[in-house]
Structure 1
Amino acid sequence: MIGLTLAASDYSLLTDLYQLTMAATYVGEDLAWTPASFELSVRRLPRGCTYLVAMGLAQVLEYLQQVHFTPEQIDYLKSLAVFERAPAAFWTLLSQSRFQGNVWAVPEGTVVFAQEPLLRIEAPLWQAQWLETCLLNIVNYQTLVATRASRLRQLVGEQVALLEFGTRRAFSPQASLWAARSALAVGFTATSNVLAAQQLGVAPTGTMAHSLVMAIATLVGSEQDAFTVFLRYYPEGALLVDTYDTLAAVAQLADRQAAGEIVVKAVRIDSGDLLTLSQKIRQLLPQTTIIASGDLDEAEIRRLQAGGACIDVYGIGTKLVTGDPVNGVYKLVEINGQGVMKTSRGKMTLPGRKQIYRRPSGDCLALESEENVWGKPLLELVMKEGRPLFPPASLETIRDRHRASLAELPETLLEMPQPVVYSPALEALIQQLRHHP
């Protein structure tokens, strides 16, 4: 039985085959050690997004520190027919595969826009190429979740709690951990994922499921009996009130509370007309926290807010951790000191090692070698010769950085992206390579 679980020792093979066939080609053509720079960026923002939030750098640096080929993995690759003509030097190269390059990156939590590099790898050509697949996997998903979480936090304000409920819908067990971290890092209040909470040093949160209500109601007597039992063990807990008749359940809870029988701290509604239900629940239980969940997204929360919903906490799952992806790409931008670019229609890339300069009027994308470009540079050297220069940032640090990044940008950011302009030198290089590649 193959569990298909992933360990750090597996990282080297977590790549697409063509990364390795290209690396073998570079070795055969004596190009493997040519200095190269690849940048990871997003050509177009995902639907409904006006910006991105860079996330995943901590896992990138961990990956780069651990990735290497074991003798068993090299033997496996040697057994593949596709490598029958691979040069002998290729296998020697793989056995000495520890990453010793440099990494420039936008710190996690920073707001970025289309075409701007989230990170740059500077390493020998064969190695920078081989890393592409896993780097994109790490950064794309976490950036997607962080971006959605950021927009939701801006939408509801600081007083409303946001709970990450996405574990059962995330694309894998590993993705569920990344999703929880990404959401918490940019402003979500808590996660229901116990493992993520334990690893991140925070307290998990949760309510109850309909199955508990149905089980106890069936075996003991009624829905109210289920609530009584639950509150016996969790007096601060939230009661899920929409298993049967939501308003009837809440009305009975209100009567019982008025009689001094119980204290209802919180209730959760997961279905039905959340707008009307929340308003009527507030009338019946004015001091009780109302939690809403059930495939909520940005558009639905806007509708609820506009209608005057009485909701104190939103639980967000499916629409936070799934949907339209961040379609990040990882492209060669410089080889042996020469800028390169892809010119195909709709997939053009920007040449040269670049720096992002943040300005109030909009970002400027410039060549890294340019001097005296006005603005705040965003890309930082975070790894030198394979060694990280800083410890991983805490959730609090990323959250504070994200707030500061948002504060630098217009209040209209939720509705309209900031413009990005190219420096004259970058524009000149683009035109040069567009006509004379």
Structure 2
Amino acid sequence: MTISPEDYSFLTDLYELTMGACYVGEGIADKPASFELFARRLPPCYGYLIAMGLAQALEYLQALSFSPEQIQQLQQLGIFDHAPEEFWSVLSGKVFTGDVWAVPEGTAVFANEPLLRVEAPLWQAQLAETYLLNTLNYQTLIATRAARMRDVAGESAKLLEFGTRRAFSPQASLWAARAALAAGFNATSNVAAALQLGEVPSGTMAHSLVMAIAALEGSEDQAFTAFSRYFPQAPLLIDTYDTVAAAKRLAQEVEAGERKVSGVRIDSGDVAQLSKEVRSLLPQTAIFASGDLDEYEIEGLLGNGAVIDGYGIGTKLVTGTPVNGVYKLVEIDGIGTQKASTSKETYPGRKQIFRRWEQGKIQRDRLGLMSESPEAGETPLLTLVMKDGEVQMAVDALDTLRDRARQSVLTLPDSIRQLHNPTPLTVELSSPLQQLTTQKK
């Protein structure tokens, strides 16, 4: 089961379609509607989020369409037997003709701040919900974790994305690689992702190669020799049997001028202690660590004096506590709307984030209505990125996204950036937004 642009129309929850049919039947399908995508709260122990996934969201909206065959498939389900006949003619045209406002990818955001707003005829904006949540929630999660790992590892460390085999699907592995690279990682082992993004994939070797060649040809050293013969710049995985013993033998060959070792990888054991021993033996060789690493493990390694030049990070990057972004109606036909459910309240009206910096750090975020103007020193974050169904922005290069994400993190106060018990920014509400919220209760 693979996904192509032709499948976008069906990559949705059923209720988006049934609600669309209901809107058509009630004569309100074309009422102008605004939906905002945001997280009510941050994941536990997170002080911020790094917005990501906008490029794929816009690609989806621009390509969204129903073929005659797809419409026929829906009609044959039996579910839509009582749907108004006009619903099928609505689906057969251009599906998305609205506008999109969004914060740039790589921007730090906080709870209740919209990453994106869709302004479109009601049925169109409704239909887009599932896919937009899927791509922005997942990529924002990966980008945020990647930014946190870069923050802990430091500017000079090499961060390699190794998560393909643990990502939730082949499609997710591509998005995870993109989000990680965009938020500060240096390379990915995912060949398809790297090539699609114009990058060079990066990787090492697996224990199976060492075990296979050692079993057939006699030793771990012969496995190293064989692999280096074809890939002389690739790091060698040295922990299959005895990490220090392998490093000693390699050091002897390097000293004798018989071998060059550009890098080694340690995947198990007391990585901090092993890295120090390996560095004493191979002082000119880059040391990479891997094995269920995350920002907390990296922090622990560095705290224990590890000497590591790079990290291969997989499982804990591409999985973990989700970003529980939601997509809520905030205005219909000029009327502000809000959800009042306990613990799930939302703010009405089309909103803007007004951000103020002081001495290079974020001082304040103010959530206001789109009709408001920025106060002195404030910058509006949401910009128009799609107009009448057509994309209005160029796709940012990965280097641009890396720089933006890193600069976004560097503007955060230390209390927000810290891994342990961070203090997220308290987003202020403007007076007009407070008044509208009170009126709607």
| TM-score, normalized by the shorter chain, greater than 0.5 | yes
Q: Which residue matches 1:394?
A: 397
Q: Which residue matches 1:406?
A: 409
Paired residue for 1:32, among 22, 29, 34? 29
Answering whether residue 312 of structure 2 is matched by residue 309 of structure 1, we say no
Q: Which residue matches 2:177?
A: 180
Q: State the AA in 1 paired with 2:367.
A: L
Deviation at residue 407 of structure 1 after TM alignment: 3.7
- Hey, what's the Cα distance between the residues in 2 that align with 1:267 and 1:244? 14
- 1:276-297 per-position Cα deviation (integer Å, ceiling 9, x unaligned): 1111111111111100000001
Q: State the AA in 2 paired with 1:429.
A: L
- Hey, what's the Cα distance between the residues in 2 that align with 1:373 and 1:343? 29
Q: Is the 8 A contact 2:147 2:409 kept in 1?
A: no
Deviation at residue 403 of structure 1 after TM alignment: 2.9
Deviation at residue 263 of structure 1 after TM alignment: 1.6
Deviation at residue 254 of structure 1 after TM alignment: 1.3
5 Å matches for 1:11-410?
11-360=8-357, 361-374=363-376, 375-410=378-413
Which SS does the other structure have where 1:83 is aligned? coil
Q: Which residue matches 1:424?
A: 431
Deviation at residue 336 of structure 1 after TM alignment: 0.5
Percent identical among aligned pairs is: 62
Q: Which residue matches 2:2?
A: 5
Give the count of matched residue pairs: 431
- 1:144-187 per-position Cα deviation (integer Å, ceiling 9, x unaligned): 00000001111111111100101111111111111111111121
- 1:225-277 per-position Cα deviation (integer Å, ceiling 9, x unaligned): 11111111122221100111111111111122222221221110111111111
- Hey, what's the Cα distance between the residues in 2 that align with 1:121 and 1:12? 17
Which SS does the other structure have where 1:282 is aligned? helix
- Hey, what's the Cα distance between the residues in 2 that align with 1:211 and 1:233? 17
Q: State the AA in 2 paired with 1:178.
A: W
Runs (5+) with no aligned partner, structure 1: none
Which SS does the other structure have where 1:146 is aligned? helix
Deviation at residue 408 of structure 1 after TM alignment: 3.2
- 1:118-143 per-position Cα deviation (integer Å, ceiling 9, x unaligned): 00000001110111001101111000
Q: State the AA in 1 paired with 2:440.
A: L
- Hey, what's the Cα distance between the residues in 1 that align with 2:15 and 2:374? 40
Deviation at residue 48 of structure 1 after TM alignment: 2.5
TM-score, normalized by length of structure 2? 0.96
Which contiguous aligned blocks of 4+ residues in structure 1 show a shift greater than 3 angstroms? none
Which SS does the other structure have where 1:166 is aligned? coil
- Hey, what's the Cα distance between the residues in 2 that align with 1:223 and 1:169? 28
Which SS does the other structure have where 1:359 is aligned? strand
Q: State the AA in 2 paired with 1:100.
A: T
- Hey, what's the Cα distance between the residues in 1 that align with 2:151 and 2:142? 14
- Hey, what's the Cα distance between the residues in 2 that align with 1:327 and 1:149? 18
- Hey, what's the Cα distance between the residues in 1 that align with 2:295 and 2:408? 21
Runs (5+) with no aligned partner, structure 2: 358-362
Deviation at residue 373 of structure 1 after TM alignment: 3.4
TM-score, normalized by length of structure 1? 0.97
Which SS does the other structure have where 2:79 is aligned? helix
- Hey, what's the Cα distance between the residues in 1 that align with 2:151 and 2:258? 39
Deviation at residue 372 of structure 1 after TM alignment: 4.2
The 10-residue stretch of structure 1 (90-99 or 14-23) with the greater mean CA deviation from structure 2: 90-99
Which SS does the other structure have where 1:362 is aligned? strand
